[in-house]
Amino acid sequence: MRRDVPVSHPDFGDLFACSCTMARFDAERQGRLTKLSNLGGLGAVTFASLSNLAAQSILMEASQSYATNPNGWLVIVGPAGSGKTRLAAAIANERIADGQPVFFVTVADLLDHLRSTFAPDSDVGYDQMFEQVRSTPLLILDDLGNESATPWAQEKLAQILGHRYNEKLPTIVTTKGPISTVDERISGRLTDPTVSRILTLQPNPQRDEPGEHLDTLVPGMTFDTFDAAGGGLKGPIRQNVDSAFRLATDFAEHPEGWVVFLGAHGSGKTHLAAAIAARRREEGDDVAFVLVPKLLYYLRSTFGQPSREAFETIDRLSRIGLLVLDDLDESGSSKWAWDTLDLILNQRTLTRLPTVLTTTMSPEDMDPRLYSRLSDIRLSTIFEILAPDYRTGRTYPPDRSDSGTRRRTKPKTR
């Protein structure tokens, strides 16, 4: 459109967008900013939705003030479930609503993205990705301290945060703490009062994290209560169970990659998986122990209902520090079930987050996508527990009597 102005006016004859077009441009720009922010399922989080933090009014006021004028660094410390990630997301969404760019990423995901840029077929070069992260107008690093603390990872984080510290670029970091456990090159900057403000959140007794209600960890299932000899096991079968026990305890001490326990019901695989989860939870890790049929039942119940909580549950299980999926069975044989599980497992494959699965299924009965992940010896270890069901005496697999503990077979074509 052209403005109705005199010939002498500087805008005479020039074309301008009408109000409806400007509104469409603004909506498209905000949509692009939201996509670039990498917030995913957290894109709808606002300060108004943080009812669990309402009692901590001083922290809310400080966060809202930072969202209005992000100056310096904001370090949000709190245990799992305290709301630190959602508080950071609310700040991000407030900035996006004001038309300002934000980049939100968990530290583990960031390091994985940087590693992937070294691949020959990567669409983004390392230098481009690294520069984008260290120079973005507002960077939010979620869950610092839950990443694989290799020397390379520590060096990359120190470089990114060192640059942002020197340039005084607005940065938000969330961590379960304590900050003193972080690399000293980073912790010194996080605690510098001239640059950083630290907000400490209290545990939230009223509201669980998404998916917390699905946690079915049995407190009594620990390594101390696991008794391989309880069923009178001897010979190769006893050796097999002892090997499973050693694998589980080693993984619990250094959780890396995936472990899959195959075996009959009652063979001890759930007990070992629960013991791993219990040990890591004692160490302060963010852990979820989820019964797969219960998870699928819950997600099916949300069909036909827009459920942000269901989406957030999938997102949380995709990113949690340690995920134990217990009793993966024929309930996962439908396409919908496998597609749902693949949403979770695909993300955990890409980020190489520690994962434990238990199942009575043979590998050849699994969905090809899952079988492909489990067949990657760089990622996963498959262990067959050959002990019989202590209740029925049924063995796994029914037609095997040898003491082999690992195998790779081709899945059925679907």
Query: What pLDDT does 59 receive?
Result: 86
DSSP 284-301: T--EEEEEHHHHHHHHHT
Domain final position from 172, 200, 228: 200
Residue 205 inside a domain? The answer is no
Residues 55, 27: one domain? no
Lowest-confidence segment of 28-42, 150-164, 170-184, 222-236 by average pLDDT:
28-42
- Please state the domain count of the chain: 3
Phi-psi region of 143 (alpha: psi -120 to 50; beta: other; left: phi over 0): left
Query: Residue 184 pLDDT more than 60?
Result: yes
Domain housing 1: 1-36
Domain membership of residue 307 (yes or no) is: yes
pLDDT at residue number 323: 93
Tokens describing residue 165? 């510290």
191, HSE (Cβ side, Cα atoms, 13 Å): 12
pLDDT of 405 above 50: no
Least confident of 55-59, 297-301, 397-401: 397-401
Residues 26, 32: Cα–Cα separation, whole Å? 10
Q: How far apart are CA 276 and CA 287, in angstroms?
A: 10
In this predicted model, what pLDDT tens digit does every residue of 9-59 receive, in sequence order? 676 666 555 555 444 444 444 445 555 667 776 777 888 877 666 557 788
Residues 236 and 381 in one domain: yes
**Per-residue pLDDT reduced to its tens digit, 60-94:** 889 999 999 999 999 999 887 778 888 999 999 99
| Domain CATH code at residue 123 | 3.40.50.300
Model pLDDT, residue 412: 40
Give yes or no: residues 285 and 231 share one domain. Answer: yes
Residues 87 and 140 in one domain: yes
Same domain, 32 and 67: no
Residues 248 and 312 in one domain: yes
- Domain end call among 200, 228, 260: 200
> pLDDT higher for 183 or 139?
139
Is pTM beyond 0.75 here?
A: no
User: Is pLDDT of 393 > 50?
Assistant: yes
The beta-carbon contacts of 251-257 under 8 Å, at least 24 apart in sequence, are 251/276, 251/354, 251/356, 252/223, 252/276, 252/279, 252/280, 253/279, 255/280, 255/285, 255/322, 255/354, 256/148, 256/352, 256/354, 257/352, 257/354, 257/355, 257/378, 257/379, 257/380, 257/381
- Is the domain of 32 the same as that of 43? no
Looking at residue 120, the DSSP 8-state letter turns out to be T
Is 222 a domain residue?
yes
For residue 404, is it within any domain? no
Q: Which pLDDT score is estimated for 130? A: 83
Is position 335 within any domain?
A: yes
> CA-CA distance, 121 to 254, in Å (whole number)?
31
Between CA 34 and CA 191 the distance in angstroms is 30
Query: Of 204-213, 346-355, 397-406, which range is least confident?
Result: 397-406
Is pLDDT of 210 > 70? Answer: no
Q: CA angle, 79 as apex, 74 and 81 as ends, to 5°?
A: 100
Verify that 120 and 174 share a domain, yes or no. yes
Domain stops at, among 158, 180, 200: 200
Residue 407 belongs to some domain of the structure: no
The model's pLDDT over 303-323, given as tens digits with 9 standing for 90+, comes to: 544 456 677 788 888 888 899
Do 159 and 217 share a domain, yes or no?
A: no
Residues 176 and 50 occupy one common structural domain: yes
pLDDT above 70 as % of the chain = 73
**Residue 21 belongs to some domain of the structure:** yes
pLDDT band at residue 404, thresholds of 50, 70 and 90?
very low
Instruction: Name the residue among 309, 311, 407, 324 with its Cα closest to residue 366.
Output: 407
Residues 146 and 61 in one domain: yes
Residues 148 and 296 in one domain: no
392 within some domain:
no
Q: Looking at residue 391, what is its pLDDT?
A: 62
pLDDT digits (tens, 9 = 90+) for 87-135: 999 999 999 888 888 998 888 778 877 777 655 555 556 677 788 888 8
* 329 φ/ψ angles, rounded to the nearest 5 degrees: -135, -155
